[in-house]
Amino acid sequence: MNDVKIKVCGMTSLKQVQELALIGVDYAGFIFYEKSPRHLGNKIAASDLKYFSDIKKVGVFVNESKEKIIRTIDEYGLDAVQLHGDETPELCESLKDTITVIKAFRVTGDEDLVNMLQPYEDSVDYFLFDTKAKEYGGTGKKFDWSVLEKISINKPYFLSGGIGINDIEQVKLFTSANNVFAVDVNSKFETEPGVKEIFPLKEFVAQIRG
């Protein structure tokens, strides 16, 4: 049995969040970035999410102020924050006493990952690797995961970026050989931004775990 965690990001309906919990998804992601087509806005009331504890709730932020992040953690009862922009190690560290911090790094394959990660090593709980594109996230594009195998990453991480139902075997192989804490899926399981396809997600969870 593979004990890698599964996160489904970009949730905009409470019913679908409840369904994720029922099919064994570990983390549900909520986008608090206004420019995203998956921006949560007022699609789920903060009070409804705050007391829903059958799944871990991750708030996704892009270059947001510390004050707004802290307010949102409290309003929505978040369990973790995913910082998906150009947040500094200092901001990450200052939040880490309050909440689990996941720092996203957007990868092309050309960057010096060792130097990018080093300043964050003591300031965050998890790294997350996503594909670098014009948009900050939710691109549906994969990057070359082998760049992660070429360096030593001393922190468990979320593997992200365009992962879909056809990637199950590749994900299983990669997660069993590397320090992957969780697999993060999003746009490849949508009928439209923010609306997930639960049946393929159920199949994905079963096969990754199986």
Q: Are 2 and 172 in contact (CB under 8 A)?
A: yes
Return the number of the residue (31 or 55) whose C-beta is nearest ligand LGQLAAA5.
31
Please report how close the Cβ of residue 84 comes to ligand LGQLAAA5 at its closest, in angstroms: 4
What is the pattern of x (binds ligand LGQLAAA5, CB under 6 A) and - over residues 149-188?
-----------xxxx--------------------xxxxx
Q: Is 137 in the site for ligand LGQLAAA5 (CB under 6 A)?
A: yes
CA-CA-CA-CA torsion for 25, 26, 29, 30, nearest 10 degrees? Answer: 90
- Please report which helix (H) or strand (E) contains residue 27, including its range: strand 27-31
Query: Residue 11: phi, psi to the nearest 5?
Result: -80, 140
Distance CA 208, CA 210 (A): 6
Side-chain-facing half-sphere of 42: CA atoms under 13 Å:
0
State the number of CA atoms in the 13 A half-sphere of 87 facing the CB.
30
Nearest to 176 by CA among 8, 1, 50, 13: 1
Q: Binders of ligand LGQLAAA5: how many residues, by CB under 6 A?
A: 27
77 belongs to the binding site for ligand LGQLAAA5 (CB under 6 A):
no
**36 is a contact residue toward ligand LGQLAAA5 (CB under 6 A):** yes
Q: Verify binding: residue 12, ligand LGQLAAA5, rule CB under 6 A.
A: no
Interaction of residue 59 with ligand LGQLAAA5, rule CB under 6 A: no
- 138 is written with which tokens? 């939710």
Which residues does residue 157 pair with via DSSP β-bridges, in sequence order?
A: 127, 180
Site membership for ligand LGQLAAA5, residue 138 (CB under 6 A) = yes
Considering beta carbons, is residue 123 or 160 the nearer one to ligand LGQLAAA5?
A: 160
Give the whole-angstrom CA distance, residue 183 versus residue 161: 9
Least Å distance, CB 194 to ligand LGQLAAA5, is 8
> What is the set of active-site residues?
9, 130
Binding window for ligand LGQLAAA5 (CB under 6 A); candidates: 30-38, 67-75, 114-122, 202-210: 30-38
Closest CB to ligand LGQLAAA5 among residues 14, 133: 133
Q: Do residues 3 and 180 make contact, with C-beta atoms less than 8 angstroms apart?
A: no
Q: Which residues bind ligand LGQLAAA5 (CB under 6 A)?
A: 9-10, 29, 31, 33, 36, 38, 60, 62, 82, 84, 128, 130, 136-140, 160-163, 184-188
